[in-house]
Chains A and B, each alone.
Chain A
């Protein structure tokens, strides 16, 4: 759904995720400010083969909801997608939450590169614990928020986490979200070469390491049940995972971490898994 020669950086995960949008029928994108805005094209050019509306941050889901209702009245079949980064999900969180509670008939996609990359890597709520950003030069001290679990707490109709490291899995989740009705939420892990400071060819490798080390859980939630996705299933068991250090040491934003810090992060991840397991019936 995106044409070559767009403005994305080399090795951009967002551009890869946008390519996977072909799985959804008749998509219409609503994009708040962020990297996705730039990737979708700067006026008067658009790199997208589909209609896109650029909106202010906090209005994203409200615009998407209104658009969907208007399409319904006109009898137009369209999948309206609110496509935002983790920064826009922070800023527009109240609208996002209200939209989920209203069960708006839209898809919300959050491409999570774990910081405000478009403005130069400021820490967001999704930023990994202890990651170096320009607003956390010594490493982020705050908690990391898990958006997908928050959406499950809204009892949304479909919630999934995905990663650009496994595009078949991502495409399958897009397809399923496109076929369902109601409020659908997809959270995509997007390793960003300039922001996380690694070479552009490593995007996929790092995305896969995140899954293999347990730093990113892959699951789907629908009909009131959480199911772990095929590619990530074996890493639910801690014994099958690669060491977290392997994932962290491959990125410049974690170069300052000591071994004790990494142990601490392992505990933080284990705590998160405990919460996820509570939702699961597997």
Chain B
């Protein structure tokens, strides 16, 4: 039996560029950020890297990073 048509392949952006879902864009205020990386561990999407740079192609704009940030270093800006 040929199972090949039934198998899904791993793909970055399996649902496309989900950044288009966003109403608010998280913007990091560099002067306040102390790189504690809490936002990195709590981002459901995994779009924040070690340098606290956000991948806007896929960020859905949920705002969890803004809420979790103790330094209040992330601001949600309307798109």
- In the complex, what distance in Å separates the CA atom of A220 from the CA atom of B8? 35
Q: Which of B9, B12, B13, B44 contacts A8 (CB 8 A)?
A: B44
Q: Is the CB of B58 within 8 A of A46?
A: no
Complex interface: chain A residues within 8 A of B58 (CB) = 4-5
Instruction: Tell me the smallest distance from the CB of A79 to a CB of chain B, in Å.
Output: 19
Q: Which of A4, A6, A12, A52 has the most CB of B within 10 A?
A: A4
Judge whether A5 and B17 touch: CB under 8 Å: yes
Q: How far is the CA of A269 from the CA of B11 in the complex (A)?
A: 43
Q: Give the size range of B's interface with the partner.
A: 20 to 34
With A8-B44, A11-B44, A15-B45 in contact, do A3 and B63 touch (Cβ < 8 Å)?
Answer: no
The listed residue with most A CB atoms (<10 A of its CB), out of B13, B14, B63, B67, is B14
- Whole-angstrom distance between the Cβ of A99 and the nearest chain B Cβ: 25
Q: How far is the CA of A201 from the CA of B43 in the complex (A)?
A: 10
CB interface residues, B 52-67, toward A, < 8 Å:
55, 57-58, 60-64, 66-67
CB of A44 within 8 A of CB of B8, answer: yes
Decide if B15 touches A7 in the complex (CB within 8 Å): yes
Is B10 part of the contact surface with A, judged by Cβ < 8 Å? yes
Contact A5 B10 (CB under 8 A): no
Does A3 contact B13, Cβ atoms closer than 8 Å? yes
Beta-carbon contacts of A164-192 to B below 8 Å, as 1s and 0s?
00011000000000000000000000000
Q: How far is the CA of A201 from the CA of B56 in the complex (A)?
A: 17
**A3 touching B14 by the CB < 8 A rule?**
yes
Please choose the segment from A58-66, A80-88, A122-130, A202-210 that sits at the chain B interface, where 4 or more of its residues have CB less than 8 A away: A202-210
Determine whether the beta carbon of A4 is less than 8 Å from that of B42.
no
Question: Contact size class for A?
Answer: 35 or more
- Across the interface, B42 reaches (CB within 8 A) one of A3, A5, A167, namely A167
Residues of A within 8 A of B61 (CB): 10
What 1/0 flags go to A1-40 for Cβ under 8 Å of B? 0111111111111011001000000000000000000000
**What residues of B have a CB within 8 angstroms of the CB of A200 in the complex?**
62-64
Complex contacts, B63 vs chain A, CB 8 Å: 10-11, 199-201
Contact of B14 among A7, A202, A204 (CB under 8 A): A7
Chain B residues near A43 (CB-CB < 8 A)? 6, 8
Contact of B64 among A4, A41, A203 (CB under 8 A): A203
Q: Which residue of chain A lies nearest to B59 when distances are taken between CB atoms in the complex? A: A4
For the complex, give the distance between the alpha carbons of A204 and B38 in Å.
12
Write the B3-24 contact mask toward A (1 if CB under 8 angstroms, else 0).
0001111111111111001000
Let me know if B44 and A42 touch, CB within 8 A. no
25 A-B residue pairs with Cβ-Cβ distance under 8 Å, sorted by A, are: A2-B46, A3-B11, A3-B13, A4-B18, A5-B13, A5-B18, A5-B58, A6-B18, A7-B14, A7-B15, A8-B44, A8-B45, A9-B60, A10-B21, A15-B45, A41-B8, A41-B15, A45-B9, A45-B11, A46-B10, A47-B14, A199-B63, A200-B62, A203-B44, A204-B67
A residues apposed to B, CB below 8 Å: 2-13, 15-16, 19, 41-49, 52, 167-168, 193, 199-205
**A-binding residues in B (CB < 8 A):** 6-18, 21, 41-47, 55, 57-58, 60-64, 66-68
